[in-house]
Amino acid sequence: MPDERYWNDRYLQGHTEWDMRQVSPPLQAYFDQLPDKNIAILIPGCGNAYEAGYLLEKGFTNSTLLDISPVLIDRLREKLPPSPALKLITADFFDHRGGYDLIIEQTFFCALDPAKRPDYVEQMHRLLKPGGRLAGLLFDREFKSHAAPGDAAPVGPPFGGHLDEYKKLLEKKFRIKTLASCYNSIRPRAGTELFLIAHPWPVL
Ligand SMILES: C[S@@+](CC[C@H](N)C(=O)[O-])C[C@H]1O[C@@H](n2cnc3c(N)ncnc32)[C@H](O)[C@@H]1O
């Protein structure tokens, strides 16, 4: 299953097909309506983190970018303007500790071994402060091209999924406010993404 070396190699070889080269429009719209610019935000599996540049530009003061790939984080340190509003961390998401008001999901869940999905939910819950929320995008599709006919398990990443499965997983630890078809995805992902907003139990 994909580990630090796997992700480093993807960045070194330029196999970053997921990279949108722009802020994700649904996330941009979500950020634009957030009233408090001082909330603590975590972007796990941040990749090239165009969202972080946008948050900085819009005056958000407390964003943490976390990724397992040191190659990627070194590149981000060179690319992003040094700012106390941006913290960069090389770490495995599952080992990270902290308290956040908002955690952003974007092509991170689908990058993880599906066997880790319950751990993802637990860890998101652990990292969110009471009253916080997990927000972002989840694929509503399978990636069949990655599995040979008759394969027992899907090959990936990315690993696909669907609304009912996410609902079942998340409801153990979250009150789901929104989990619905996304209307403003980038064109190649149109109709295949769900927008999620979920609050950790207990909801304040
Ligand atoms: C498919 S990429 C998506 C990157 C970015 N979110 C985007 O949408 O462009 C998945 C990212 O998650 C990172 N990653 C994978 N497993 C991780 C883990 N356990 N902890 C932290 N980052 C991880 C990879 O290094 C990679 O940057």
In a domain, 148, yes or no: yes
- 147 pLDDT exceeds 70? no
pLDDT digits (tens, 9 = 90+) for 28-68: 999 999 999 999 999 999 999 999 999 999 999 999 999 99
Cα dist from 57 to 54, 80, 158, whole Å = 5, 11, 30
Q: Report CA(4)–ligand 1 centroid distance (Å).
A: 10
DSSP for 140-200 reads -B--GGGS-TT-SS---SS--B-HHHHHHHHTTTEEEEEEEE-SS--GGGTTSEEEEEEEE
- 153 pLDDT exceeds 80? no
In a domain, 133, yes or no: yes
Tell me the two tokens of residue 50: 């165009």
Whose CA is closest to atom 17 on ligand 1? Answer: 68
In a domain, 17, yes or no: no
> CATH no. for residue 60?
3.40.50.150
pLDDT band at 203 (very low <50, low <70, confident <90, very high): confident
- The reply to whether ligand 1 has any atom less than 6 angstroms from the CB of 64 is no
Spatial neighbors of 6 by CB under 8 A, at least 6 apart, are none
pLDDT digits (tens, 9 = 90+) for 68-120: 999 999 999 999 999 999 999 999 999 999 999 999 999 999 999 999 999 99
Give me the pLDDT at residue 10, please: 96
Domain span at 142: 4-10+25-200
Q: How far apart, in whole angstroms, are the C-alpha atoms of residue 136 and residue 194?
A: 8
Cα 130 to chain centroid, rounded:
20
In a domain, 19, yes or no: no
Ligand 1 pocket check: which of 11, 13, 67 to mutate, most ligand atoms within 8 Å of Cβ? Answer: 67
Residues 85, 38 contacting (CB under 8 angstroms): no
In a domain, 81, yes or no: yes
Give me the pLDDT at residue 155, please: 75
- The reply to whether ligand 1 has any atom less than 6 angstroms from the CB of 47 is yes
Whose CA is closest to atom 14 on ligand 1? Answer: 45
In a domain, 15, yes or no: no
Give me the pLDDT at residue 55, please: 98
Q: Would you call 113 helix, strand, or coil by DSSP?
A: coil
pLDDT digits (tens, 9 = 90+) for 162-199: 999 999 999 999 999 999 999 999 999 999 999 999 99
In a domain, 20, yes or no: no
As for how many domains the chain has, the answer is 1
In a domain, 18, yes or no: no
Nearest CA to 109 out of 86, 143, 79, 77 is that of 143
